[in-house]
Copies of this chain bind each other. A is one copy, B any other.
Amino acid sequence: MKYCPDCGSSNIEFKIPADDNLKRHICADCSVIHYTNPNMVVGALCIKDNKILMAKRNIHPRKGYWTLPAGFMENAETLQAGALRETFEETMSEAEVKMPYTMFSLPHINQIHFFFLADLLDDNYGPTSESMEVKLFDESEIPWDELAFPTVKKTLEYYIQDKKDNNFSFREEDITIW
């Protein structure tokens, strides 16, 4: 932050405010403290006929790699609404949330990733501006070497394990290596 979004001053200090213990951007002219906090990414592992819905990214980062539909949660939105919106934006398809499934803290990039397990409701999926290809994968066909993000890989691994055990449970963990 070079300029105060409230008053336009360039007199921005990066220091610990009174009664705090972390450095923040503070405007030395209008005294406003500008906080920044982690962002929530929401997505869905959508299943139809035992197959997994995946999208090949048409946007950076990781363009050309396969992902589960997911993206930044918006203001004024619930987790479930965000996951279903991202699913539609990236795959053109409608889904129904079954349960919260995986949640990852990614402190090195100030993000939290959260995936629901969901049912894909129809076969009308297809590419969008964000996805160059959309496909239902059988477990044996998952492109493990072409996955976009570690949280996608982990979520797929848990799904395969849980399906084998016939016991699906929510998991919350940290991923600190990208």
Q: Determine how many copies of this chain the complex contains.
A: 2
Please tell me which stretch of A34-42, A61-69, A133-141 contacts chain B, meaning at least 4 of its Cβ atoms lie within 8 angstroms of it.
A34-42
Interface size class of A (residues with CB under 8 A): 35 or more
A123 to chain B, nearest CB (A): 25
Among residues of B, the one whose C-beta sits closest to the C-beta of A79 is B105
- A108 in the interface (beta carbon within 8 A): yes
The 8 Å CB contact of A80, one of B22, B37, B105, is: B105
The answer to whether A74 and B22 touch across the interface, beta carbons within 8 angstroms, is yes
| Complex Cα gap A105–B76 (Å) | 9
| Complex Cα gap A37–B38 (Å) | 9
Query: What is the predominant secondary structure among interface residues of chain A facing chain B?
Result: loop
Chain B residues lying within 8 Å of A2, measured Cβ to Cβ, are 5-8
- A110 in the interface (beta carbon within 8 A): yes
The answer to whether B35 and A72 touch across the interface, beta carbons within 8 angstroms, is yes
Q: Tell whether A37 pairs with B39 under 8 Å between CB atoms, given A2-B6, A105-B80.
A: yes
A residues sitting closer than 8 Å to B (CB atoms) are 1-8, 10, 19, 22, 34-40, 72-81, 100, 103, 105, 107-108, 110, 112, 129, 170, 172, 174
4 tightest Cβ-Cβ pairs between the two chains A and B? A78-B105, A3-B8, A100-B172, A75-B110
